[in-house]
Each structure stands twice: as C-alpha cells, then as structure tokens.
Amino acid sequence: MERRSKTRALSSLAAAALLALLVSACGGGDASDDASGGGGQAGNAQPVALTQEQLGELPDATTFGNLKGAPTDPSPDDTSASENGTGTVLHPKQAIAVYDEPGGDPFAKLPRKQISSPTWVPVIEERGDWAHILLPARPNGASGWVYTGQDAVETATNDFSVLVHRDDFSLEIREKGEKVGEWTIGIGSDEHPTPKGRAYIIASIEEQVNDYSPIVLPLSSHSDSHETFGGGPGTVGIHTWPDDSFVGKANSDGCLRVTKEALDELVKLPLGTMVEIV
C-alpha cells in the first residue's frame, strides 16, 4: 500500500460542517484459530444470510455510532504494530455486516466510507475467511468480525504505524518498526485525557471552517470525558494549532496536537494506520 494517502478533499460546506462537529472537542481459543490464519471450524463458518433490508437496519459502525455490547479489543495494550507495522488493512467494497464471532450474530454494518474517506480498518486476527477488525465507533476498543469471502473486501499491507507516549509528549512514525520521525506534541488535559489504547486513522479531512489546522486526521477513539461536544461525538483527532504553545503540555480536550512538520508527514500515512497510545 502506498505511503502517500490519496487526496480526500471536501468540496461541500456540509462536509466542512461535519468536520467542525467531529473535532469541536479538541479546541480547548485454539492454536488452529489464531492470528496466523489457521482455519478451523469457526474459520470455515458461513455468515448468517441477510437481506438488503436487514443489512440496512443494522447500526452503522462509524465514529457517530455507539455499539454497546460489541466485542472489545482483546489486546488494547498491544504495541506490536510499532514493531512490525499495522499489517493487514481491509476496505469493504460495499456495506458489509459485522458479526460478534465467525458465523455468529450480526450487530452492525461497516460502510464503504467513513465521513468523506474510504473505510480502511486494521485486521487484528484472521480465521479462514473471517477477519477480526477494530471498529471506529464507541465504546473505545469496539471490534467485530467480517466475512472476507465472495470478493466482499479489498485488503492491503500497511507497513506504517504511529506510537504515542503520553508521559513523554512524544509521537513517532514507524515503518516496519524503524522510527522515521519523532516530534514533541500536546495531549489531553487531566480533566479530558487522551484515551489510552490502540486506535487508527479513519479519515483525512481538509479543514474549511477553523484555521488552526489545514488537515485533521480523525481517529477511531473517542473522548472518555466528552460523550458529546458541540453537537459532535467527541472523536479524538490529530491536528495542528495556531502556535507552538501546546508543545510538551497536557491542555487539549483529548486530541493530539502536533506541529506542522509532524502533520505534513502524518497525512502521508495510509488510512487504517494503527495509532498506539501508551
């Protein structure tokens, strides 16, 4: 997968207004069934058949969603992406159902787009024709299984990752485990902390409302202190700031504030790139 992400420019005021809502909170068992892709009975299970009407009735797995009861990330503190790269990422060619386990019950649908960008999600486990993915909805760490057979998805390999150390106010871009860039950043305040765990870049949006950042990179995680903020879902994002007063400080509403130099490199990363926050 190419490092430089494709241009995702927004041409409508409606999309720009959506961005304002999204980032408004940032202003102030078996070995045979493991991640190696061993099949097993579960891996060979067929998905529950759904009509288009039934699929349409499922809640969307987007940054606006709240998928209560969704399986949780089994390894939220895993930082293997910083050592090996994000790995396999997946794009649904059309809206597909998300299941609680291979061959299990559907509880959501993954749309072809997230905001204005094509949906790309990281795969954290594979079992035959099933992929365990991280979802961009609440609660943080929500996950689910999608069926990858029948040419339903496109996959790629993503060699990049982002590692954030909150205690050190540092952000690193890594390629196959090698550090290719590091910057001092700003993080969430004690009252509105930046959520810990593994998230990923869900979109790249050209800012047309505020002037503090030319591009904003929304993540799959959400603020734990802002259920909503300014009418938006409290999505955590990566963006710049009008000046460098944020550097090395914990004073945002949960977002990661970065320098212009850092943002210039971050926007080149493919969608679905894992962001590990420790």
**Residues forming the active site:** 239, 255
DSSP the chain: --SSPPP----SHHHHHHHHHHHGGG----GGGSTTT--HHHHTPPPPP--HHHHHHSPB-STT-B-TTPPBPS-TT--THHHH--EEEEEESS-EEEESSTTS-EEEEE-SEETTEE--EEEEEEETTEEEEE-SSBTTTBEEEEE--TT-EEEEEE-EEEEEETTTTEEEEEETTEEEEEEE-BEE-SSSPPPPEEEEB---EE-SS-SS-SEEEEEEEE-SS-S-BTTB--EEEEE--SSSTTTT-EEESSPEE--HHHHHHHTTSPTT-EEEE-
As a whole number of angstroms, the distance between CA 221 and CA 235 comes to 6
Count of other CB atoms within 10 angstroms of residue 172: 16
- Nearest CA-CA partner of 28 in 241, 260, 258, 261: 241
CB contact set of 7 (below 8 Å; sequence gap of 6+): none
Is the distance from CB of 17 to CB of 207 less than 8 angstroms? no
